[in-house]
Amino acid sequence: MGNYPSKKKPNNKSRKNSNKPERQNSLESNEETISRISTTTYFISEEVETERLQQYHYLIKHLFDGNFLSPIHELLNSAPCKVLDLGCGPGTWVLDMGSTYYNNKKSVFVGIDISPTFPNQIKPANTQFIQANILDGLPFENNEFDFVYIRALGLSFSETQWLELILPDILRVIKPGGWIEFNEPGPDAKNYGPYYKKIVDTHNKEMSIGDIDPKIILKYKEWLLSNSKLTNVQEEVRYVPIGSWDKNNKLGEICQENFNTYLKNMESCISNHLNISIEEYDQLLTKFFQECNELKTQFPFCCIYAQKL
């Protein structure tokens, strides 16, 4: 239910060169990454995906009782604070944060994404958006941000890219004492059946073709704990029902709708993998969600955060 690996070409505008680490020759270029991932075709409507990501934002916000778990409320309310949303998509989190903390004129919220689906005109004055490719290096100074938020980007990059390019660059731009927070769909649902397993296993095999680890969320905590620049590593996992079986939790219906849109966007590659028609795939999805309601399936979301020393 996260983001897709981007196939858009980078914007080659000028970048700040503030002591950014050199890109290693052993890593493939972003052009090669785009070409390799694009060998599998995704027919994704940008408008549909934007709406899904906006809905996804509010699902996660209500599930975690807010837009983040890192202990930065006081800072956001009163002190000068600069916040970065990495892979901001349509910018819903940035816009929400900018509106929530608008009274603190010293707070600034920045979103960055390779795809310019975020607003350029109508937005809170304390928000800004930048089109850039994360793999080209973050176009920011060292120690610039108090908080960096990363949501649903696990399926966008390989483990090598995370460890050798992205994570070091994120830590470079965070101030000492600042926080980093990941929020990702978890890999292990509760009470699932054979239809769920069939679709999810096929989805994961599809991701693996592009050298993407579909269970990379399980490694985030280990990465943060093993990093000497970080402390106060925390993890919280919350579950949401898939479907309407829990009458006391309306998030279940939203989760099913969002999950269904995500899987419909993936219908071409998953149906090809299963060697079935689109019509048969739609029937499979119907059985998938019927099963989730019958077995009372719960889907996990993981939030992991840490403080920079």
User: Could you read off the pLDDT tens digit of each residue along the chain, which spans 309 residues?
Assistant: 655 444 333 333 334 444 554 444 334 334 333 333 333 444 467 889 999 999 999 999 999 999 999 999 999 998 899 999 999 999 999 999 999 999 998 999 999 999 999 998 889 999 999 999 999 999 999 999 999 999 999 999 999 999 999 999 999 999 999 999 999 999 899 999 999 999 999 999 988 887 899 889 999 999 999 999 999 999 999 999 999 999 999 999 999 999 999 999 999 999 999 999 999 999 999 999 999 999 999 999 999 999 999
CATH 3.40.50.150 fits 44-308, yes or no: yes
Q: Report the alpha-carbon distance of residue 56 to residue 250 in Å, rounded.
A: 14
| Contacts for 272 with CB less than 8 Å, ≥ 6 apart | none
Q: Tell me the one-letter amino acid at 263.
A: L
Q: What is the DSSP letter of 3?
A: P
**By the 8 A CB rule, do 151 and 184 touch?**
yes
Specify the pLDDT at position 226: 97
User: Which stretch of DSSP H or E encloses residue 202?
Assistant: helix 194-209
**The pLDDT value given to residue 120:** 87
Would you kindly state where each structural domain of the chain is located, as residue ranges? 44-308
pLDDT score at 1: 61
Residue 209 pLDDT: 83
> What is the Cα–Cα distance from 41 to 296, expressed in whole angstroms?
33
Nearest one of 74, 87, 59, 63 to 258, comparing CA atoms: 59
